[in-house]
Amino acid sequence: MNPFSLLKESITKVPFVKYALGVAGIAAAIAIIKSFGIQNNHIPIISILIMLGLMVLLFIFSSFTRSVDVNLKRGAYILVYTTIFITCISCFLLASSVFFDFPKPITRYLSSPDQEIVGDNVINACDFIPLSSKNICCNCGGFGDGLVTNDGDVNQENKAVYEIPISLTGTYEIAIYYTSNAPRPIQITLGNISVNPSACGGVTHGWGKETLRRESEGEYKIDKGMLLILDRYGPLPHIRAITLSEK
């Protein structure tokens, strides 16, 4: 038997079955939203809640307009105009968020909180050498697991020192995954030579993993056993990982 014919006959026998169409519509909306490839699981839930809220408003308004009570009709019009006002403000803020990052950047909500770290040789930021590093800490401040930050906002020398996990001397691209809501450029030193004095100087519009950015810091000749040093006099950007890709 055709499923649609079965559903139609079921509605005829049991009128309440018609609400199954509403459930199917919600499921279809979820499927459509998922098809856009959005990884943030909160987005579909929020979308469905908004849709259900608008359905309730529509039901209330249609009920009020059929009423003969003048006060109820007046309430219906107030409800409609209020909804239109809120919708216009929301559209304005959405456009402002997309084009001007105000009040908050839209990417903060659409980005995956667990961005994949890609590279031939990955150094987790928390794997710094404790005795050689200065004034930094891992997983502190509540910004997210795996992020390295300085242990205070005062002006001081902050330094993270890492062993480079390569087996052969060669040319490698260094990329850093970081997040920062203010310009905080750091210096990259290989061995005893400063190779980049202004790495990670961009703004990602956040301090947590949801605004994590990968930034290529250049290609350099790296010897086996060499140390990589990230330092700055002042607060650091929040660093998640360093990758080295052989060229």
Q: Which CATH number characterizes residue 217's domain?
A: 2.60.120.260
Which residues 6+ apart lie within 8 Å of 80 measured at CB? 61
Q: Is residue 132 domain-shared with residue 90, that is, in the same domain?
A: no
Q: Is residue 145 domain-shared with residue 89, that is, in the same domain?
A: no
In a domain, 35, yes or no: yes
Q: Is residue 88 domain-shared with residue 132, that is, in the same domain?
A: no
Q: Are strands 227-233 and 186-190 parallel, antiparallel or unpaired?
A: antiparallel
Query: According to the model, what pLDDT value does residue 91 have?
Result: 85
In a domain, 115, yes or no: no
Question: Does the structure show a pLDDT above 90 at 237?
Answer: yes
In a domain, 31, yes or no: yes
Q: Which of 110, 129, 159 is the last residue of a domain?
A: 110
Structure pTM? 0.58
Query: According to the model, what pLDDT value does residue 106 have?
Result: 65
Q: Is residue 102 domain-shared with residue 127, that is, in the same domain?
A: no
Q: Is residue 104 domain-shared with residue 184, that is, in the same domain?
A: no
Query: According to the model, what pLDDT value does residue 117 have?
Result: 82
Q: Is residue 169 domain-shared with residue 226, that is, in the same domain?
A: yes
Contacts of the segment 4-9: beta carbons below 8 A, 24+ positions apart: none
Query: According to the model, what pLDDT value does residue 115 have?
Result: 61
Q: Which of 110, 137, 157 is the last residue of a domain?
A: 110
In a domain, 162, yes or no: yes
Q: Is residue 43 domain-shared with residue 131, that is, in the same domain?
A: no
Per-residue pLDDT tens for 89-99?
988 888 887 78
In a domain, 116, yes or no: no
Per-residue pLDDT tens for 6-30?
656 666 766 655 656 666 666 666 6
Integer Cα distance of 230 and 236 in angstroms: 9
Question: Does the structure show a pLDDT above 70 at 48?
Answer: no
In a domain, 134, yes or no: yes
Average pLDDT, whole number, for the chain? 81
Which one, of 134, 120, 135, lies nearest residue 242 by Cα? 120
Integer Cα distance of 30 and 24 in angstroms: 10
In a domain, 235, yes or no: yes
Strand ranges (E), the chain: 121-124, 136-138, 148-150, 157-163, 170-179, 186-190, 193-199, 213-222, 227-233, 238-246
Q: Is residue 156 domain-shared with residue 238, that is, in the same domain?
A: yes
pLDDT band at 103 (very low <50, low <70, confident <90, very high): confident
Q: Is residue 143 domain-shared with residue 226, that is, in the same domain?
A: yes
State the total domains in the chain.
2
Query: According to the model, what pLDDT value does residue 69 have?
Result: 77
Q: Is residue 208 domain-shared with residue 176, that is, in the same domain?
A: yes
Question: Does the structure show a pLDDT above 80 at 119?
Answer: no
Question: Does the structure show a pLDDT above 80 at 31?
Answer: no
In a domain, 104, yes or no: yes
Question: Does the structure show a pLDDT above 90 at 171?
Answer: yes
Q: Is residue 60 domain-shared with residue 169, that is, in the same domain?
A: no
Distance of CA 218 to the CA centre of its chain: 26
Domain with 128 in it: 121-246
Rounded to an integer, the average pLDDT of 184-194 is 94
pLDDT band at 219 (very low <50, low <70, confident <90, very high): very high
Q: Is residue 134 domain-shared with residue 62, that is, in the same domain?
A: no
